[in-house]
Every structure is written in C-alpha cells, then in structure tokens.
A and B are shown apart, each in its own frame.
Chain A
Amino acid sequence: MTKERFYKWIFTALAFSSLFFLLGIMITLLVQALPMFRQVGILRFIGGKYWYPTYSTPSFGILPLMLGSVVVTTGAACVCIPLGVGSALYIHELAGPIQRAILKPVIEILAGIPSIVYGFFGMVIMAPMVQRFFGIPTGLNAFTASLMLGVMATPTVCSIAEDALNVVPSSFKEASLALGANRWQTLVKVIIPAAGSGISTAIILGMSRAVGETMTVLMVAGGAACIPRSIFDPVRPMTATIAAEMGEAVMGSLHFHALFAIGLVLFVITFIFNIVAEIISRRFRLRLGLGR
C-alpha cells in the first residue's frame, strides 16, 4: 500500500505544477515591476500620456500603448466575431456531412498557423494593399493589424463556438421546428440563445488571444507610441512594446522594470478575460443541465 500512496503523492504534487508556474509568473512580474511602481506610481504609469523611455528625462506613461492594444483588439473583434461565429453557424446548420467532415479539421488545422506567418503576410502583402487602396502614407497601421489579428483569431473563435453549438440538445431544435418555426428562426431564436454563453466564451477567448498576440502586431501595427487619432494611425500595442524594447533596455534600469510592469498589466487583463470566460461557460453548462 505504501507504493500506492507514494504514487498518489507524486501525482498530486505534479498536478499543482500549473498553479506553481502561474504563481511564479505572477511573482516574477510583481517583483520586477515593483521598482517602476515605486518610482513613478501606478496612476502615473497607467494614466500617463507619454511613453518616452529613452529620453534624458524619461516618461513612462502607458496610456498610448494601452489604447493601441484596445484599438487593435476592438478592430480584431469586428473581424473575427462575424467571420468566426458566422462560419461556426454555417458548419453547424448548413454544411452537409461531407462539407462538415472537411471543414471542421481544416479550420482546426488553420488555427495552428503560427502568428509570425500572419505578421509576415501582413507586412509584405496586406500592408502594401491597404496603403494603395486607401491612399494613406503607410500600410503598417492599426487597421491592417486589426485585420490580421481578426483573421488569426477566426479559426479559434469558430471551433470553440462550434463546440458550444453542438452541446445544445437536439430536442431544442426539434421542438422549435415542430412549432412551425423555420430553420433560420430556430437558429436565431432558439439555438443561438441556448448556446449564447458558449459563443460568448469563444469570443472572449478569441479576444484574449488578440490582446496577448505579439508577433503580428509587432510587425504590422507600425510601432508609433502615441495616442491614435484614427484607425489608420500606426500604433504600438503593449505586447509589441515589450518585444521591441526588451533587447535595448539596460538590465535593471527603470526602462527594464517598466517593460515588466507592462507585462504585469497584460497578465492582469488576460487573467480577467479568462476568469470571465470561465464563469460564463460554467453558467452555460449548468443552464443546459450538463453539470460540470
């Protein structure tokens, strides 16, 4: 019996590794960001309008960076919600068995396209196209970045939303059709509301991916750390700032700690996104009577 207990203890200990790493990341970010908050203050850091980390009198306000992330993520949402949810509904409702058998794995495989490839494509093909089409000085801007991020998040949103639609019991659909509703009415008034929180979870997870995405925005968003006036302005989202400036920041300098502080802000934002998604999806499963 000692062997049994020994193995149980080992597995129990190893099972906590995720918690261990999560706490490790949190503590590392906090420790490294602390000097920044102590010197500048949290409010001036988050609310400051100027990001001039390398000036002789540096200014560490991440408002422009946060706005950059917000603009790009909102733009991405406008692309990936209709495309992702629309194609999930298509696969669920309209696709025949053969189409579905092909589309589902294809979408899942496409979800694996590395972000660097989206960044590269955005830089060499999409940006020149956007520049010519709108007649603007540079194609590397928030618009192109939103577009690429949105397309990138589409397969993720689609496959999670499709899973949510599949969970809706078929009796819901049968009851609605039996009452004389047609397929579209059934879809809009019965299936979508029933799968609503599952679809919201898909959207939130897609958004969370877009906020945290680095390479695409680093290459495509243009990299100007000022408050954007329009969607066609170049922006520098938080992730891109960390990626671009870590190499040049002197270890232990205020700039170095500021980048960790940005990492902490990002971590908190995605943490909130995930908790919300978790709560919604739990409620969804309970409402459909599926338990945990």
Chain B
Amino acid sequence: MDDRKMQDKSLLQNKDMLVYKTHSMKGKDISQGLGFMLLVLCTGTALVFLGSIIYFITIRGIRVISWEFITDVPRMAMMKGGVAPAIIGTFYLTLVSISFAFPLGLACAIYLTEYSPKGTIINIIRLSINNLAGVPSIVFGLFGFAVFVNAFGFGVSILSGGLTLGIMALPGIIATSQDAILAVPQSYREASLALGATHWDTIKKVVLPAALPGILTGVILNVGRVAGETAPILFTAATFYTRGFPHSIFSEVMALPYHIYALMTEGTHPEVQTQIAYGCALILLCLVLSVSAIAIILRQRQRKMYGQ
C-alpha cells in the first residue's frame, strides 16, 4: 500500500493524470470486489449442488443398506433379499474390460513415449485416441451390440459388455499410462543405454518398473470410471433379474448402474423399488468415489516423489 501512496504522490505533478487515476482506482476496486464475489458464488453453487447429490443419496441410501442387502440375492420379485448379483456383475464387467484394455493401452503408451514415432503417424494415433475418448457412451453400446452380440455371436453377456467397456476405457488407460511413463526421468534411460542395454531391455527393466506405480494408479482411476457406466452395457450385457450369480463369461448379468435404471423404470412396486435404488446408488457412489479417491491421492504422492 505504501508503494501506491508514493506512486500517487509522484503523480501529483500532473493534475489530469491524478484525477484519472483516483477515479479509475475506485471503479476497478469495485469491479474487482464484485468479480471475486461472483467467482466465490460460482464455486459455492457448484459445490453445494454436487454436495447435495452425495448428501441426499447417502442419507436415504444408508437406511436401506444392511448386510443382507449387500450379500443376498434378490428374493420375492425384488421385494426382499439384496443386490449381491449386481455388485458381483459390476465387478466381472470391470475385470473383463480392464484386462482387455490394459495390455492394449499400455502397449500404445509405450509406443508413443518410447519409440516416439514422427509426424503423420503420431498425429493419426493421437487424433484417433482423442476422438475415441469423445465418442458418446451409447454409440459404444450400439457398436458392441452390432459387433460382439450379433456379428461375433457372444450374445448378451459379460464378454460382450466387458469388451465394449474395454474399448471405451482404452483412451483413458493410454493417457494415464503415457503420463506415468513420461514421468520417468530421462537420465534413467540414458544410464541404461550407456551401460550397453538395448532399447527393449531398457524399456522392460528400467522404464516400466519405474513407471509401474503410476501406471497402476491410472488403471485404478479408469476402473472407477468403467464401473459406473450404464449406456454401453444396456444392450450388451445387462439384465434386470438373474436367479443368482452369473455362471460363465457368456451369461447375462445384473450390474449396479443398470439396476438403478431398471428399478426406476420397470417392475410393479415403484415405492419399494425407489428405496432399493437409493441403496444401489449409495453402494455405486461409494465404490466409484472411493476407487477414484484412492487413485487420485496415490497419484499426488507419486508426483511429489518425482518432484513435479
């Protein structure tokens, strides 16, 4: 503030300039105050909105959840029992999708970072990754339905749904793996090459082990995203009701996100079903948010480790 006073004093010599200065000082301070208030308001509104979603689902869902709800199969047309098959189904779908997308995504990330192709090739690959990431989830569902369910004859099954989800998770896995590999200091590679190791040996024995924690964190982050997806499994994997748990990779499954949708739109006891849907929504929210929270916290620690 003292600096500013001195500045003003020096400006006294020029009267016009002083008038201009004091006048605009007021105006700009007011606009600054109003502007900052607006920003606080925006952030507050966003947080209140998002917070209230979590709040409502938590307090209404917690009443429904019991040990039986989590571990039992549905009984008496959903009126009794639990949603265990849906939880297990979501687990299987996520497992299939990640085991499909992880090797592919990692290979792609290794190619992009370690073999660093030039010009057109890298542009084409980047462009297709970005565009694949932007394809609407329902379009993945259509693709999975036409290709995996019908053309390949897998039927409505864990396999079809898992592969569909896997393709959808691919861009995310590539991006996170790429970040992890790029975070490995260049000096590691140089040291290895200087010791006479080949390019592939360097990747396998130096770069990948160093990047592994970051890569796994990225996978966890994507698990959270995949587990909550509904649209891609609508026609490829999910069903409202199964008698017990899925037997094979070719059976249709119940899945938590789809179950919420089905409870709200099908069936004959809307009130009871809404309560069950609250329970499912809370379980899904807990699963997805805790998985992504773990991933994000792990990632922050790793970033600190590399001093970024």
Cβ of A134 under 8 Å from chain B: no
Cβ of B229 under 8 Å from chain A: yes
Query: Would B230 and A4 count as touching, CB distance under 8 A?
Result: no
Nearest chain B CB to A13 CB, angstrom units: 9
Query: Would B46 and A11 count as touching, CB distance under 8 A?
Result: no
Cβ of B277 under 8 Å from chain A: yes
Segment at the interface with A among B30-38, B63-71, B210-218: B30-38
Given contacts A117-B284, A215-B261, A274-B130, contact A105 B137 (CB under 8 A): no
Given contacts A17-B108, A105-B300, contact A94 B39 (CB under 8 A): yes
Query: Would B229 and A4 count as touching, CB distance under 8 A?
Result: no
Interface residue ranges, B against A (CB under 8 Å): 7, 28-29, 31-32, 35-36, 38-43, 45-47, 49-50, 53-54, 56-57, 103-104, 107-108, 110-112, 114-115, 117, 124-125, 127-143, 145-147, 150, 167, 170-171, 174, 198-200, 224-225, 227-231, 234-235, 257-258, 260-261, 264-265, 274, 277-278, 281, 284-285, 288-289, 292-293, 296-297, 300
Residues of A within 8 Å of B227, CB to CB, are 114
- 1/0 per position for A170-204, CB-CB distance to B under 8 A? 00000000001011110110000000000000000
Nearest chain B CB to A42 CB, angstrom units: 18
Nearest chain B CB to A179 CB, angstrom units: 12
Interface residue ranges, A against B (CB under 8 Å): 3-4, 7-8, 10-12, 14-19, 21-22, 24-25, 28-29, 32, 82-87, 89-91, 93-94, 103, 105, 108-110, 112-121, 123-125, 151, 154-155, 158, 180, 182-185, 187-188, 205, 208, 211-215, 218-219, 239, 242-243, 246-247, 251, 259-260, 263, 266-267, 270-271, 273-275, 278
Query: Would B127 and A278 count as touching, CB distance under 8 A?
Result: yes
Given contacts A271-B134, A274-B134, contact A115 B264 (CB under 8 A): no
Query: Would B138 and A242 count as touching, CB distance under 8 A?
Result: yes
Nearest chain A CB to B127 CB, angstrom units: 7
Nearest chain B CB to A123 CB, angstrom units: 6
Residues of B within 8 Å of A112, CB to CB, are 224-225, 228, 288-289, 292
Query: Would A121 and B56 count as touching, CB distance under 8 A?
Result: yes
Nearest chain B CB to A17 CB, angstrom units: 5
Query: Would B228 and A18 count as touching, CB distance under 8 A?
Result: no
Nearest chain B CB to A248 CB, angstrom units: 11
A-B pairs with beta carbons under 8 Å apart, 16 shown:
A3-B200, A15-B111, A21-B167, A22-B135, A83-B46, A86-B46, A105-B296, A108-B292, A115-B231, A117-B57, A121-B56, A208-B134, A212-B137, A246-B142, A263-B139, A274-B130
A175, B35: Cα distance in complex, Å: 21
A251, B151: Cα distance in complex, Å: 12
Nearest chain A CB to B27 CB, angstrom units: 10
Query: Would A155 and B297 count as touching, CB distance under 8 A?
Result: no
Contact of B142 among A103, A188, A263, A273 (CB under 8 A): A263
